[in-house]
Chain A
Amino acid sequence: MSDDTSNPIVVMERVNKYFGSLHVLQDVDLSVDPGEVIVIIGASGSGKSTLIRCINGLEPFQGGAIEVDDHRLVPDGGGRSALQAIRTEVGMVFQQFNLFPHRKVLDNITLAPVKVRGWSWERATENAQRLLERVGIADQADKYPSQLSGGQQQRVAIARSLAMEPRVMLFDEPTSALDPEMIGEVLDVMRELAREGMTMLVVTHEMGFAREVAHRAIYIHGGRIVEQGRPEAVFDNPQNERTQAFLSRVLKH
């Protein structure tokens, strides 16, 4: 829910990023309100993943600034203490889950709260159990990630992020590596999270999810935000011809 009286929780100001000579983000301005759910769409290579990876500093950028909850990141990896603070407040879910294969499900979830937040093992475990229940896999706590299905692994990854009690969640194509029959269970968890008021930036191709859950849809092309608005407006009545071309390709199948 965007709340007009509150300050934005994420602000990107004229962010520019290059991979060598390739200009992957061009003057990106973005302001995200607490509780807002934003879906980011665009062709592969458009810069949509890079954009959210800049927010938690997994990618350095070369121009502009990013502020999360008053912690400010500046170009070329500047603002190291801010970076650490931001990473404890921003959770991220990856396309390939990136669970720690040598740790059991429960130990995947308790690692960061214990090491970063300094929680006792008991408290972290209790919290992890509660989160596993919330994502519907309480019975898998003692298994290794490789013993779970893709959908279950992604739900563990979401629980692992939530264990740090983040204020913002980034999702980088969270369902793209899943078999079709498992996409639903992951989207259900994300839908629930959105309903509880989590601020979310979601890079996805799931147009149905976007329509139903998102407050705003952003279309990126060539590293620029070329169109944004209510999902139904962007999807049903795109103004930019590039958005029209992209959507007609995506929605055709």
Chain B
Amino acid sequence: MSTADTQTGARRTPGLVPVSETRRSAERAAAPREPSVLSEPEPSGGVVAFWRLLRSELGLTFRRPRNLIMLGVLALVPVIIGIVLKSIGTEDADGGMGALLAATAGNSLMLTFVALSALVPLLMPIAVAVVAGDSIAGEAGTGTLRYLLAAPAGRGRLLAVKYLNAVAFSVAVTAAVAVSALVVGVLLFPVGPVTLLSGTTVSFADGLLRILITVGYVSAGMAALAAVALALSTLTEVSIGAIAATLVLIIVTQVLRAFPQLDWLAPYLLPTHWSGFDGALRDPIGDMSGGLLAFTAYIALFLSTAWARFSGKDISS
């Protein structure tokens, strides 16, 4: 990459880590290697460094009080829903959601689905957006990004670590809600065979399996949002900007979905597919491949955008 060298070699801002420098430091770490923009993980030292970085990243994320509080608050919601359902009863419940609430009174596992359908549209995305939107911009804002890049990690690898970290948090958010709902459900409501939306009754074990499918699907949906937030995070050095932009996107798309005139747009919007987890409650299990494909498309598009932006960006803080 000699072109980049000559360009940034001349004028040098104090504290600036130019693109070429990151690359050089990454190249030094794994000496016999083709200079590559992608900086793919190396079989030996690279992989170890990658996992070490990811481990430290995960440690930071799951020790950070802010993140733990978000997980705690989300896990509290199923408890509140459970207690309210138990104490008030569901006699006068009516309509789609009401029936689901009524089903909860009859079976413990249904609380998981109630909790997820209440949290998936907004609260869980907010938690994911905070962590993923903070990932790059937050480091830039506190001035730690250039130290991360000075370490022999390579930008592509740092981005991969940041994304995997956000994905891990997405799974944690979903699991926190599901596990909390499961525990509360088992404590408060009868345990036994589960009635699906199709009117079929399946065993408790089958019900647990369906919860597992749901957790996987919702996590994938949140991971897609994390990719969007990560891409926005590479655009700014103010983490609140990236987080706010992600939230605005979520809210705008949710509002757009409310207009029947814009029905044609709905399949392309991310939040439309989040609620597709109700396929796990049908018999036979509903087709969730459309939603998963949409998530994959979002992840591919926004991760590559984030990479293109981040690997070409001069880091000044």
Query: Do A and B actually bind?
Result: no
**Which residues of A pack against B, CB within 8 Å?**
none
